[in-house]
Amino acid sequence: MSGSAAVKDHSRAFAEYLFVYPVISRRSRGLSIGINLNPDKICNFGCIYCEVDRRTPPRALKVDPARMRQELVEIIRLVRDGGLIRQSRFSEAAALATDIKDIAFSGDGEPTMIPNFAECVQIVAEVKRQEGLDRAKIVLITDAAGLDKADVKRGLEIMDANRGEIWGKLDAGTEAYFKQVNRTTIQFGRILKNLLETARVRPMVIQSLFLRVHGERMSEPELAAYCDRLNELLQAGAKIKEVHAYTVARPTPEAYAAALSDSDLEEIAATIRHKTGLPVFTFA
C-alpha cells in the first residue's frame, strides 16, 4: 500500500463534504470512510505530532447529524458505483478503493468530546445496515479521555452491536512523557483507567505513536514503563486485541517531532511483543 498517493494522502477534505471523507488507511488495510465529528478543530490534546492544520479556519463549527447521514450515504454509493476510483486521487489505488473496510470516527479533534456522540453512532449503524455493509466495522479512534462519559458509553454499546472496534491511544509509559508528547491537562491515570474499564467490556486495539523528540527516540526506561502499563491493563482484565505501533507520516506542528525509521519502529515493536506477549503490527 505504501507507494500510492492515495495511501499517503489522509486529507479530511473531500469535494464539498463537511463531515465525511474517504481515505485509504494503512491501519484499516484498505478503504475507510471517515466521520469528522470535530470540524471546529478543537481537541483536548495538543499532541506534538498532530497533523491537523489549525492555521486555516474551520468550514463548520459543529456536526449537523442530518447532513452527516446524507454525506455518508452519498459516499458509500459513490464507492459502490465506481465513482470514487474515477477520481485521480484514488484511481491508482483502484483495487483498494472499492471495498469499504470500516466507517471510522476520526476527526480534527477528539470524537468523544461532542455532546451527541451516541446519536452519531446510531446514524452510522443505521446507514451501515441500510446500505448492506454487514462486513464493515464501525471504528472509534480515540485518545481515551472521554470514554467515561455516559453518552459515549451508550455510543459504545451501539458499536458493540454493529461490529464496533475501539482504537484507544497510549503513547507513553509515564505521566511526564505523556505530558511532553500529548500536551494535555488530563491526567495520565484517567487515560489508563478509561482504557481498562472500556477494554474489560469488549476487546480493544491499543494505538501508539512512536517518534523522535529532539532527535531521540523513546528511551529504554520509558519503553519499559509503557510495556508495564500494558501488562497492568492485561492483569486487571483488559482485553487487548492487538497493538498498532506507528510513526509520524505527515508534517508535524513541531519541527522537533520526527518520524522513526522502519528499523527503529520494528525494534520497538519487537520489545513490546517480548515484554507483553501481545500481537503488535507496525505502520511506518
pLDDT in tens, 98-127: 899 999 998 899 999 999 999 999 999 999
Condensed to tens digits (0 to 9), the pLDDT of residues 127-165 reads: 999 999 999 999 999 999 999 999 999 999 999 999 999
* Phi, psi for residue 64 in degrees, rounded to 5: -100, 105
Please report, for the chain, the start and end positions of each structural domain, with discontinuous segments joined by +.
1-168, 170-284
Q: In the prediction, which pLDDT does 7 show?
A: 44
Please state at what angle helix 150-160 crosses helix 117-130, rounded to 10 degrees. 20
Distances (CA, A) of 275 to 48, 75, 206, 227: 27, 42, 15, 6
CATH of the domain spanning 170-284: 3.20.20.70
User: pLDDT > 70: what percent of the chain?
Assistant: 95
Q: Which amino acid is at 121?
A: V
Continuous H helices in 92-174: 117-130, 150-160
Q: What is the pLDDT of residue 27?
A: 87
SS3 14: strand
Contact 117, 150 (CB under 8 A): no
Report the sign of the C-alpha dihedral through residues 142, 244, 257, 36, in that order: negative
Residue 93 has pLDDT above 90, yes or no: no
Question: What mean pLDDT is predicted for residues 89-95?
Answer: 81
Q: Which pairing describes strands 20-25 and 30-35: parallel, antiparallel, or unpaired?
A: antiparallel
The residues near 107 (Cβ < 8 Å, ≥ 6 apart) are: 12, 34, 35, 36, 37, 38, 39
CA distance 51 to 13: 14
Q: What is the pLDDT of residues 43-83, one digit of tens each?
A: 999 999 998 887 888 889 899 999 999 999 999 999 999 98
- What pLDDT shows up at residue 157? 98
Tens digits of residue pLDDT in 221-230: 999 999 999 9
Q: In what order do the strands lie in the sheet with 212-213?
A: 216-217, 212-213, 257-258
Region of 70 please: left (phi>0), alpha (psi -120 to 50) or beta: alpha
pLDDT greater than 60 at residue 4: no
Q: Please give the average per-residue pLDDT across 192-206, as a whole number.
A: 98
Asked whether the predicted pLDDT for residue 2 surpasses 80, the reply is no
